[in-house]
Amino acid sequence: MKIRTFFSVLVCKMTKSALRFLGRGGTDFPGMVAMALYHNVLGELSKGVSCVIVTGTNGKTTSARMIEQVLIDAGVSYFTNKSGANLITGITAEFATNATVTGRPRKDYALIECDEAAFKEVSQLVDAKAVVVTNVFRDQLDRYGEVTHTLNNIKIGISHSPKATLCLNADDSLIASIADEVKNPVIFYGVDTPIYKNRVEEVSDAPYCIKCKHEYIYDYVTYGHLGGYRCPVCGYHRPTPDISVSRVISTDTDKSVVDLTEGGKTWQTTVNLPGGYNIYNACGTAAVGRALGFDMDLIVGALGHFAGGFGRMEKFTIEGTDVRMILVKNPAGCNQVLNFVTNVTEPSVFVVCLNDRDADGTDVSWIWDVDFEQIAEMGDRLDGLYLSGVRAEDMALRFKYAGVPEEKMKVIKDYETLMHTCTAQDKPVYIMPTYTAMLDLRVKVSKMYGFSNFWE
């Protein structure tokens, strides 16, 4: 077995080095090679490492970057799959990269962003110390199915993680219900107050009680189906969070300032990214930090200066133009992005890049469940709208029905032309790509303007 581990790790390292030399990411393929040589190599490589797993539909990458800053500030040695390769192949490659050729770990902690469908397989090989579950929303129906299917995958993964402290979103009725079925220690986190003054109306992905199927009553809603839910029939309700955001003090285009409460004590906390959903990511990070035994003052400090993940509210200044790239991939997440971008007060340019490759989800009908009418209602603040990606024409049709004037829209398929057009603007540019479009755009930005590659 040691010989198999040796050759698996060695070939994985060589493959990854070769791909990087060629200027490619090398995030998944090296792990595929390693697993072909020894299918369970991840189980060998994860021994002796304190593993933190981040899973859920939305917020995995940003939560992982926040947790990473906590680990940095705590001074511990760690590695993480920063590239976002969150299937078992990418995770295996990251473990192999950070191990000796004999399979011994080089770092004490592994911070792993894990796809919610892959979690049930990864958890069989990785003995997690902490697992944070962000939320469950409809996402890639062709791959995940409905939300209950995604929830069941997460439950299976947790059943393989008996030693893990679970950090569960109390405001998600689906996620909170997991606590009733496990013996793991649980830290609940949540937001005790509405986040938005003007919240987009959305179709709830979980309007009915997971216990008795009657409709929930909400004392408040933060977004989607998250908030202060309670069932008037069986009594199932939002559990009291152990760590919560008790007040949203201010939000702007760069950050949010909130009161973070734990154990009766409150810290005024700056979250170094805008957007209400990032308030949840920060709260979940605090829960993970406490699960790992870190001091709350350290956690609060880390939230104030962490660097966001690539394509997740990532900001570039290119030739004097401010460009912010924000991943969109499902109705709930996209509506939250729209809550942010349509509240900017200055005239802005918007770009939407829609792909339908396997990693995006081949079913793009979700765009009709997004309130793109908000863009049309911006009036003079909408200075221009560019559509790109494989399904750019579908996106143009959606915006036509949303009421955006045709003279304000333009389809630009070539990414180099698109970036030249964007950076020629004298107004802020907000780019909203789906996953594979984001990867392609991010590579183009790196090559054209000298920014670091997405895997760095």
Q: pLDDT tens-digit profile of 241-285?
A: 999 999 999 988 788 999 999 999 999 999 998 888 899 999 999
Average pLDDT for 414-429: 89
Please give the pLDDT value at position 199.
64
Domain count, the chain: 2
Encode pLDDT of 334-380 as tens digits. Answer: 888 888 888 787 889 999 999 998 878 888 888 998 889 988 888 88
Instruction: Identify the band that residue 24 occupies on the pLDDT scale cut at 50, 70 and 90.
Output: low
Structure confidence at residue 309 (pLDDT): 67
CATH number of the domain within which 442 lies: 3.90.190.20
Q: Same domain for 246 and 199?
A: yes
Q: Give the tokens for residue 20.
A: 């990087």
pLDDT number for residue 329:
84
Containing domain of residue 338, as a range? 312-449
- The CA distance from 186 to 451, in Å, is 40
Runs of H (alpha helix) within 235-367:
276-291, 296-303, 331-341
pLDDT at 33 over 50: yes
Dist. CA 105–CA 3, nearest whole Å:
16
Mean pLDDT of the chain: 89
Note whether residue 319 is domain-resident. Answer: yes
- pLDDT for position 143: 47
* Pair 288, 346 in one domain: no
SS3 113: strand
* Residue 110: inside a domain: no
CATH, residue 66? 3.40.1190.10
pLDDT at 152: 93
DSSP per-residue string spanning 174-187? HHHGGGGG--S-EE
Q: How far apart are CA 367 and CA 398, in angstroms?
A: 7
Tell whether 328 and 284 lie within a shared domain.
no
**Whether residue 131 is found in the same domain as residue 251:** yes
At 169, which amino acid appears? N
Q: Given a cut of 80, is residue 308 above it in pLDDT?
A: no
Is the domain of 187 the same as that of 268? yes
Interatomic CA distance for residues 75 and 417, integer angstroms: 43
Residues 213 and 266 in one domain: yes
Percent of the chain residues topping a pLDDT of 90: 57
Domain C-terminal end among 249, 268, 303: 303
Confidence bin at 26 (pLDDT 50/70/90) = low
CA 16 from centroid of its chain's CA atoms: 25
Answer yes or no: do 123 and 240 share one domain. yes
217 and 353: one domain?
A: no
* Domain annotation covers residue 343: yes
For 39-71, the pLDDT digits (tens) are: 999 999 999 999 999 999 989 999 999 999 999
Q: Are residues 142 and 281 in the same domain?
A: yes
Q: Of the residues 246, 281, 303, which one is the last residue of a structural domain?
A: 303
- Residue 433, classed as helix, strand or coil, is strand
Same domain, 317 and 286: no
Q: Given 270, 303, 336, which residue is the final one in a domain?
A: 303
Per-residue pLDDT, 157: 95
pLDDT band at 142 (very low <50, low <70, confident <90, very high): very low
pTM here? Answer: 0.85
Query: Does a structural domain hold residue 192?
Result: yes
Is 95 a member of any domain?
A: no
* pLDDT, tens only, 296-306: 999 999 999 98
Domain assignment present for residue 434? The answer is yes
Q: Is the pLDDT of residue 16 over 80?
A: yes
Kindly tell me if the per-residue pLDDT of 455 is higher than 70: no
Q: Is 403 within a domain?
A: yes
Same domain (yes/no): 123, 225: yes
Could you tell me if residue 255 is inside a domain?
Answer: yes
Pair 244, 389 in one domain = no
The answer to whether residue 225 scores a pLDDT higher than 80 is yes
Adjacent-strand bridge partners of 190: 244
Q: What angle do CA 78, 32, 152 make, to 5 degrees?
A: 75
Q: Which residues are catalytic?
A: 363
Q: Residue 128: its pLDDT value, please?
A: 95
